Amino acid sequence: MSSYQSIHLVKRPVTSIEASCFESQQHAVQALQEGQFRVKQTHMSLDPAMRGWMSDDRDSYIPPVELGEVMRASGIAEVVESLNPSFPVGSSVMGMFGWAEQAISNGAGVNIVPPGLPAEAVLAVLALPGMTAAQGLLEIGKPKAGETLLVSGAAGSVGSLVGQIAKAEGLRVIGVAGSDEKCTWLVDELGFDGAVNYKTDNIAAKVAELTPNGVDIYFENTGGAIQQVAVDNMNAHGRIVVCGMIADYNTDTPSAGPNWIAIVKKRLSIQGFTMPDHFDKAPQLMQQVGAYLQAGKLQYRVHVLDGLESAIEGINLLFSGQNQGKLIVKL
């Protein structure tokens, strides 16, 4: 291939992400320097965090994507040319290759994918979703068998793994999702103990019904009305793990947070976290999640889009809730 395509961020979204925020460019293939290798990306991950990366927030956990740069994304790729003996031609690798058909790397932040693992399984389970779920639940939530977990965004790539890992650890798990189909999937396929459709159920009544012994851990992925309901049903010394606030990513005015009186009375622990703080633990976390997967305790589903340019419109599926599983672009 004498040229390749990439998609660049050229305008920052105000609320929703519009196609005009991106520009597609063609590039000539450049020669490698010693220690570098070239990859051809085969699968690219689309994640809610991308909305934050597009903003001009300089106080966030990771610098924004600068205007004119290739849009940031992780993906699975094949090494097609190499001057780096650690990454031989034919290797399957995982890294931050961006919205691009090809990339050149020196190996920093790139890991070789064990043979025999489908790319979709790697991105849906072992990569960012699985590492996020394991770090947030096991290291911050500190679950104990017999406790009750409530997780929002439960049918999403992170939430579905959080719930399944919690079930594997002996917890009672209640998920919050945005459709009857998703709620049925959580209970009938993933083994959750109950599910709440936040669009049609009386959220407060349904959560109270499904958590008669209260909530010990709340894993927050979405924000919105579930926040106050979760706090109202928390047990004393409960833990709240704040992973994401997807309901607020495309709004001018964030939703109101929970009242702090209950937080004081119940002595709740609340901690926000982001995975870049814990990338040094990536091998350990992937090994933990891989063990659950090998034991048959994790299921996943993927929503696959075709072609690099499908990412431009497809990313909005994450914020409308229309994606059915981990959102991946197949190149």
Tens digit of pLDDT for each residue in 9-65?
999 998 889 999 999 999 999 999 999 999 999 999 999 889 989 999 888 888 999
What separation in angstroms does the CA of 98 have from each of 184, 200, 262? 34, 37, 43
Residues 63 and 103 in one domain: yes
pLDDT over 90 for what percent of the chain? 79
- Residue 285: inside a domain: no
- Per-residue H/E/C for 256-308: CCCCHHHHHHCCCEEEECCHHHHHHHHHHHHHHHHHHHHCCCCCCCEEEEECC
Average pLDDT, stretch 293-299?
92
Predicted pLDDT of residue 218? 98
Residues 38 and 82 in one domain: yes
- Residue 27: inside a domain: yes
CA dist 301 and 186 (Å) reads 12
Q: Which two tokens stand for residue 67?
A: 């205007």
CA torsion angle 149 154 156 162 (round to 10): 20
Q: Per-residue pLDDT tens for 314-323?
A: 999 998 888 8
Domain count, the chain: 2
Q: Which two tokens stand for residue 109?
A: 């932040």
- Residue 39: inside a domain: yes
Cα–Cα–Cα angle for 218, 232, 242, rounded to 5 degrees: 30
Cα–Cα–Cα angle for 65, 68, 71, rounded to 5 degrees: 45
Which structural domain, as residue segments, surrounds residue 310?
3-116+302-330
CA dist 239 and 184 (Å) reads 27
Residues 155 and 94 in one domain: no
Residues 179 and 240 in one domain: yes
Predicted pLDDT of residue 320? 85
- Here the CATH number for the domain that contains residue 174 is 3.40.50.720
pLDDT at residue 258 is higher than 60: yes
CA torsion angle 279 280 283 284 (round to 10): -100
Q: Per-residue pLDDT tens for 134-179?
A: 999 999 999 999 999 999 999 999 999 999 999 999 999 999 999 9
**Structural contact between residues 234 and 215, judged by C-beta atoms closer than 8 angstroms:** yes
HSE-CB for 287 with a 13 A CA cutoff: 4
pLDDT at residue 249 is higher than 80: no
Residues contacting 260, CB < 8 A, separation 6+: none
- Here the CATH number for the domain that contains residue 40 is 3.90.180.10
Q: Per-residue pLDDT tens for 185-226?
A: 999 999 999 999 999 999 999 999 999 999 999 999 999 999
Confidence of residue 1 (pLDDT cuts 50, 70, 90): low
- Residue 287: inside a domain: no
Residues 252 and 143 in one domain: yes
Q: Which residue's entry shows tokens 């579930």? A: 226
Residues 201 and 245 in one domain: yes
Q: Which two tokens stand for residue 128?
A: 């960012």
